Amino acid sequence: MNKLSALALALVMLAACSVQNAYVYPESVQKKWMITTGDVDRPYDSLGFIQLTKTGATLFGFWDVLDADLKGLFEQDLLKEIEKAGADGIINMHFHEIQYTKATRIFFAFPLFFIPLPRAVVVTGELVKFKTQ
């Protein structure tokens, strides 16, 4: 009974925890491309609306066997797509990554260790090429 109470207390305490993810663009990226969640005043040619979706899984609550996070998507995929399209950047960008708090991860490490946690990250935005003035 005491053990159960302790477990419940630990879960309640962990339930309040938060999880943060950030990706700071390296200086070379900042200089080369315009990546913004807002609009721009400079005239541009649109190269299309793009959506990138990456899915993965976490085993035993903490083991990211197939990583799908913002950092990975930006570094490995988004910048590549911008370059491939010949764009100067991406505007009006929206993004979403599935995040799990420590409490959830612990719960899926024990007792639900046999259920993998699904991971997904999505980025959308408009590829643009600025007009030379």
| Residue numbers at the binding site for other proteins (CB under 8 A) | 38-41, 43-57, 66-68, 73, 77, 81, 85, 91-92, 94, 124-128
Compare residues 54 and 108 and give the one whose CB is closer to other proteins. 54
User: Closest separation between CB of residue 30 and other proteins, Å?
Assistant: 20
Residues whose CB is less than 8 angstroms from the CB of residue 56 and which lie 6 or more positions away in sequence, other chains included: 64, 65, 66, 67, 68, 118, 119, 120
106 and 14 in contact (C-beta within 8 Å)? Answer: yes
CB closer to other proteins, 27 vs 41:
41
Minimum CB–partner distance for residue 133 and other proteins (Å): 12
Going from the C-alpha of 102 to that of each of 85, 91, 105, the distances in angstroms are 39, 33, 5
Question: Which residue number, 106 or 130, has a Cβ lying nearer to other proteins?
Answer: 130
CB of 55 to other proteins, least distance (A): 6
Q: Closest by alpha carbon to 55, among 36, 71, 69, 35?
A: 69
Instruction: Indicate the residue among 33 and 67 with the shorter CB distance to other proteins.
Output: 67
Residue 84 C-beta-side C-alpha neighbours within 13 Å: 8
User: Least separation, in Å, of the C-beta of 114 and other proteins?
Assistant: 14
